[in-house]
Chain A
Amino acid sequence: MDIVFSRLGDNEARFVLEGVSDGFANSFRRAMMSEVPTLAIEDVRIYDNTSVLFDEILASRLGLIPIRTDLSTYRLPSRCECGGAGCPRCYTVYTLSVEGPCMVYSGDLVPRDPAASPVHDRIPILRLFENQKLVLEARAVLGKGKEHSKWQPTIACGYKHYPVITIDDRCDGCGMCVDECPRGRLANGKGKARVIPERLELCLLCRLCEKACKRGGIGSEPAIRVDEERSRYIFNVEGDGSLPVREIIKEALLHLKESTRSLLESLDEIAGGTSDEESE
């Protein structure tokens, strides 16, 4: 059971997850996408909108802007002490006031909490023409991706099995598999194809090399074989900038742990209940 990072930045990570089952790997992926909370604009109060866009479309566009999130500052409204009524711990406010002609960008939103500013300043919201005006107040709350994709902290999040490539003795070094590979992970060695170790993880498991090998007239079985290693996965996680990827990974694992722990507690209650009945 191990995580080995081959790349770890603020917005993207690539790592090998080892020693877990298919179900766990998939749950981990799903948890990263839909169970890690981020901030997104949820309510918009529009004071003046004389632009060409309807209020509803405008609100939808505002919602999709990624916002930098500090999970230690904000809480999910459902878990907040205020009971979701609205307090500084569970929402933050943005104001926007622009007059045309100009383009309205996400950077025109003025946040009450500077730490919760939009990730990018140059996301176009709409274009205002002569004598058009837009004045609004927006409220961002924490939410989860399973409710709406605007709360998803990841853009791309997926995994594949670790590739295992074996080249047997029948390889005559014709080089057809080398030319065919879209990821250039093969090279011609001494009369035989070989795998370039640092490019192995790029393998798409497309098996074009196997087909190319068979086309070379080697018989019904290709000399090169691509297999998947069980219980070893290459994960690729890209964040939208609202949360650093390392935090997405941590929060997802904590969520899985927390759900399991709460199941254990419920099981104890059930077991306690049934043993009480028996003793009566």
Chain B
Amino acid sequence: MDIKVLELTGNKARLVFVGEGHTFMNMLAEEVLKDPAVDVATYAMEFQFSDPELLITTTGKKDPLSVLRDACQRLIGYCDALLESAKRAQAQQ
């Protein structure tokens, strides 16, 4: 995935996700927001086909990139669990 870093400090990050859309960003922003160390996690697309820009600010306990990394790990975990569960359910049919 192609990422442009617009701003990166200890408790704030602004990242542009080149070529991504609502499909990925919606899921990611919501998952990041579940982290108690996160203050703001939202994304914006200036125009319909612009690349989305993700804004993360944290309360200072964790840096934004590790927050993002944790969210990714959780999402991969969800996908694995669902793939496994779908496979099991289909095998039973």
A residues near B (Cβ < 8 Å) are 1-5, 8, 15, 17, 20-24, 26-27, 30-31, 34-35, 146, 246, 249-250, 253-254, 256-257, 259-267, 270-271, 274
Candidate in B8, B82, B86 with the most chain A CB atoms within 10 angstroms: B82
CA distance A67 to B17 in the complex (A): 33
Main secondary structure of the interface of A (DSSP, over half): helix
> With a CB–CB cut-off of 8 A, which chain B residues contact A35?
23
Q: Which of B1-59 contact A (CB under 8 A)?
A: 1-3, 5, 8, 17, 20-24, 26-31, 34
B residues near A (Cβ < 8 Å) are 1-3, 5, 8, 17, 20-24, 26-31, 34, 65, 68-69, 72-73, 75-76, 78-83, 85-87, 89-90, 93
Which of A2, A8, A246, A260 lies in contact with B85, CB distance below 8 A? A2
> Beyond A1-B82, A8-B93, is A259–B24 a contact (Cβ under 8 Å)?
yes
Q: Nearest A residue to B23 by beta-carbon distance? A: A30
> Beyond A256-B27, A267-B68, is A24–B78 a contact (Cβ under 8 Å)?
yes
Apart from A8-B90, A253-B83, A271-B65: 5 A-B pairs, beta carbons within 8 A: A24-B78, A27-B27, A250-B87, A254-B79, A257-B79
CA distance A146 to B22 in the complex (A): 11
CA distance A27 to B73 in the complex (A): 17
> With a CB–CB cut-off of 8 A, which chain B residues contact A26?
26-27
Residue contact A3 to B82, C-beta cutoff 8 Å: yes
**Closest 5 A-B residue pairs measured CB to CB?**
A23-B30, A27-B27, A257-B79, A30-B23, A1-B81
Can you list 11 A-B pairs with a CB-CB distance of less than 8 A?
A: A23-B30, A26-B27, A30-B26, A146-B21, A253-B82, A256-B24, A257-B80, A260-B24, A266-B1, A267-B3, A267-B68
Residue contact B93 to A21, C-beta cutoff 8 Å: no
Residue contact A24 to B30, C-beta cutoff 8 Å: yes
CA distance A5 to B87 in the complex (A): 11
CA distance A17 to B82 in the complex (A): 9
Residue contact A254 to B83, C-beta cutoff 8 Å: yes
Q: Nearest A residue to B2 by beta-carbon distance? A: A266
Residue contact A31 to B89, C-beta cutoff 8 Å: no
CA distance A259 to B2 in the complex (A): 11
> With a CB–CB cut-off of 8 A, which chain B residues contact A3?
82, 85-86, 89
Which of A4, A256, A267 lies in contact with B75, CB distance below 8 A? A256
CA distance A256 to B78 in the complex (A): 10
CA distance A257 to B84 in the complex (A): 13
Which of A5, A271, A274 lies in contact with B89, CB distance below 8 A? A5
> Beyond A2-B85, A3-B89, A256-B75, is A24–B27 a contact (Cβ under 8 Å)?
yes
